[in-house]
């Protein structure tokens, strides 16, 4: 019996896969626990439409990430921190502060979790920071750290 999996199942496969299983296993385990649905023409068509929709949404997210990456590449964000004697900084600049400065200065929403800092910025100057917007898209953002 052919079954479309509705959930990931360790022994059978991933959600959306069409698998061939015995009729007893399907009737007694897979169908009652709503792990899968019988592979009828209607269910196969629904699956096809669902996969097409998911592909369209994924492409839209990729396009949006690429557009945001282009806008980020051309921008420079200025972040100010306090300094003490001899030009030493008090504290550091974190990804949260960089994301807030991006929003404030350029109106760009960047998630702080997507800003990749090896460590917080503790010195003055201009630094190139990587922003991973999508699995396939990353951008370089120039961050200028100045004395407040």
Element (H, E) at 45: helix 41-73
**51 in helix, strand or coil?**
helix
Does 84 have pLDDT greater than 90?
Answer: no
Q: For residue range 8-55, what is the model confidence (pLDDT) as tens digits? A: 999 999 999 999 999 999 999 999 999 999 999 999 999 999 999 999
Overall pTM surpassing 0.85 (yes/no): no
> Which pLDDT band holds residue 119 (cuts at 50, 70, 90)?
confident
Half-sphere exposure of 59 (CA within 13 A, CB side): 6
């Amino acid at each position: 019996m052919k079954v479309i999996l509705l959930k990931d199942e360790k022994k059978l496969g991933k959600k959306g896969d069409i698998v061939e299983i015995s009729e007893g296993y399907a009737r007694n385990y897979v169908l009652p626990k709503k792990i899968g649905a019988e592979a009828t023409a209607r269910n196969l068509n629904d699956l096809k439409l669902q996969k097409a929709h998911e592909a369209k949404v994924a492409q839209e997210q990729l396009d949006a990430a690429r557009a945001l990456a282009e806008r980020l590449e051309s921008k420079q964000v200025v972040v100010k921190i306090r300094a003490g004697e001899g030009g030493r900084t008090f504290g550091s600049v974190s990804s949260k502060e960089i994301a807030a400065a991006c929003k404030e200065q350029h109106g760009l929403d960047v998630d702080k979790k997507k800003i990749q800092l090896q460590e917080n910025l503790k010195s003055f100057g201009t630094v190139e920071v990587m922003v991973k917007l999508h699995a396939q898209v990353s951008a370089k953002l120039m961050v200028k750290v100045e004395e407040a």
